[in-house]
Amino acid sequence: MINEDPWRVKLTVAKVYGRVARSAAEKSASSKSDGGCCRPPEDLRGVPAEAVVSFRGCGNPVAIADLRPGQVVLDLGSGGGLDAILAARQVGPAGAVYGLDLSAKMTRLARRNALAAGAKNAAFIRGDLEAIPLREGSVDVIISNCVINLTPDKVQALVEAFRVLRPGGRLAVSDIVVDPDLAGLPLGEEAIRSALSWAGCIAGALTTGQYRTFLEAAGFEAVNIRINYRYSPPDLQAEMPAVLRRLPPHVIEDLAGRFASATITAYKPL
């Protein structure tokens, strides 16, 4: 991984997603979002439009979380609240969902969206994935949607996730990964990552090998990483700087294909 000032990374991420939250109301009235791309339309019934248009995830962790009534769920990087609202429906009034997000604007937006959706069992907290403000062993399931890649110290974030899970608890996240790695390209890994934006989700992506190693080092077991979709060159266009655009087309295609959305599950031992 490249060396970046962690506070600068966090400020950049909070600023970018704060702008997303601020523009959600306008977009909800004038355009469609890809927030429903990973979910059947019936899942989005009754979900406020602002929760959908502010969605910036890369998958559907709620679908793989095996949530049950009465469980306590933590959504890391809850954004506008879409996944937390859907999780709140599944755990029911006897359960609870906590959404944690670094952006104050996103946190306020999520609270409004949960209120509009009638999700009384969902609460949203402004905080850092690297210092989760919940007590040890207080959560049954952790979900996250393309956010762990945004935090600078992923080792600490996964250690914190392990800490707040109850024994037997489950981690079920969607994230961007590098598979297998960034070796063998004309540009070195540091140059590639330095050219990309952290707020764009891929600059800070772990390799699948790193993800597995970090999860197991934190204490997780039964780690499973499944690649769902590999990037194509058009997927990188929005954030591809000039230094990467100058690469030959076949190299750009190779580079893009090493980034992928993945489903990651793991358990805290009993």
How far separated are the first and last CA of the chain, in Å rounded? 32
Each residue of 174-227: pLDDT tens digit?
A: 999 999 999 999 999 988 888 886 656 688 899 999 999 999 999 999 999 999
Rounded to the nearest integer, the mean pLDDT of the chain is 89
pLDDT at 211: 98
Question: pLDDT band at 103, cuts 50/70/90?
Answer: very high
Task: Single out the residue of 54, 64, 51 nearest to residue 90, CA to CA.
Answer: 64
**Nearest CA to 59 among 184, 189, 202, 229?**
229
Closest among 250, 198, 223 to 5, alpha carbons compared = 198
CA nearest neighbour of 175 among 259, 240, 105: 259
Counting residues of the chain whose pLDDT is more than 70, the rounded percentage is 90
Tokens of residue 119, six digits:
């999700």
- The half-sphere exposure of 16 on its side-chain side, counting CA atoms within 13 A, is 13
Tell me the pLDDT tens digit for each residue of 147-165. Answer: 999 999 999 999 999 999 9
Q: What's the confidence (pLDDT) of residue 185?
A: 94
Q: Does the pLDDT at position 2 exceed 60?
A: no
Sequence-distant (6+) residues with CB within 8 A of 19 are none
CA-to-CA dists, residue 152 to 102, 163, 201, angstroms: 13, 19, 12
Q: Identify the burial level of 169 via C-beta atoms within 10 angstroms of its C-beta, where 0-12 means exposed, 13-18 middle and 19 or more buried.
A: buried
219 dihedral zone (left: phi>0; alpha: psi -120 to 50; beta): left
Q: Which DSSP state fits 133?
A: S
Contact 51, 80 (CB under 8 A): yes
The domains found in the chain, sorted by start residue, are 6-176+202-230+262-267 (3.40.50.150)
Measure the CA–CA gap between 18 and 3, rounded to whole angstroms: 24
Per-residue pLDDT band for 40 (boundaries 50, 70, 90) equals: low
> Per-residue pLDDT tens for 120-137?
999 999 999 999 999 999
Say what angle helices 82-91 and 104-117 make with each other, to 10 degrees: 40
